[in-house]
């Protein structure tokens, strides 16, 4: 009986963690699971969003993903990230499919290592041309059990749009997503963020 129960749990977990089909995601920019359609088969703890030919200020964000208790490292978590370019728009090449029709080509994936660590190499995004929000990097978490959701965006403490009012609007004070960046010896901006899962 125990073997049947374990098998049942395994099947349920597998079904729960399945991704939607490409067809289901073709015209759906609301289903966050669609962010993981088209990701590479092999992922490391490092994602590179913007190549060296992409204009903008180079940026590295490092950190850890932790379980909801705030202390336990969370290995094998998938992260998807996307952001605007140096002009504040989501740039596209014209051949994007699925959710990338909205997110553009400045996106990437990674999988946290055995200690929950991750690294994002990219450029610092700029605010939307409308000027109604801070510059930000969207982050979607996909836990090993298939739970998929947005966490607070990465925003920058020196951004003029990160006002006291903006800070008070954030849903999680423990993981508000506000990152302080500083230039390293080579002029690359570096910052750290711990991501807390739900």
> Which pTM does this prediction carry?
0.89
The second-level CATH assignment, the architecture, of 2-196 is: Sandwich (2.60)
Alpha carbons 196 and 198: distance in angstroms, whole number: 7
Residue pLDDT, tens place only, 91-147:
999 999 999 999 999 999 999 999 999 999 999 999 999 988 999 999 999 999 999
């Amino acid at each position: 009986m125990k073997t049947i129960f374990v098998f049942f749990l395994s099947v349920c977990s597998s079904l729960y963690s399945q991704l939607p089909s490409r067809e289901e995601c073709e015209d759906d920019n609301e289903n966050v699971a669609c962010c993981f359609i088209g990701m590479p088969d092999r992922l490391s703890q490092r994602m590179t969003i913007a190549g060296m030919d992409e204009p903008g200020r180079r940026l590295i964000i490092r950190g850890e993903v932790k379980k909801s208790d705030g202390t336990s490292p969370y290995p094998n978590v998938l992260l998807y990230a996307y952001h605007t370019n140096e002009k504040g728009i989501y740039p596209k090449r014209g051949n994007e499919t699925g959710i990338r029709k909205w997110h553009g080509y400045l996106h990437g994936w990674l999988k946290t290592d055995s200690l929950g660590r991750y690294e994002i190499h990219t450029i610092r995004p700029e605010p939307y041309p409308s000027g109604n929000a801070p510059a930000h990097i969207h982050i979607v978490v996909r836990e090993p059990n298939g739970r998929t959701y947005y966490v607070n965006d990465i925003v920058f403490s020196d951004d003029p749009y990160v006002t006291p009012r903006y800070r008070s609007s954030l849903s999680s004070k423990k993981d508000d997503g506000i990152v302080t960046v500083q230039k390293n010896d080579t002029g690359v901006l570096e910052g750290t963020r711990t991501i807390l899962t739900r």
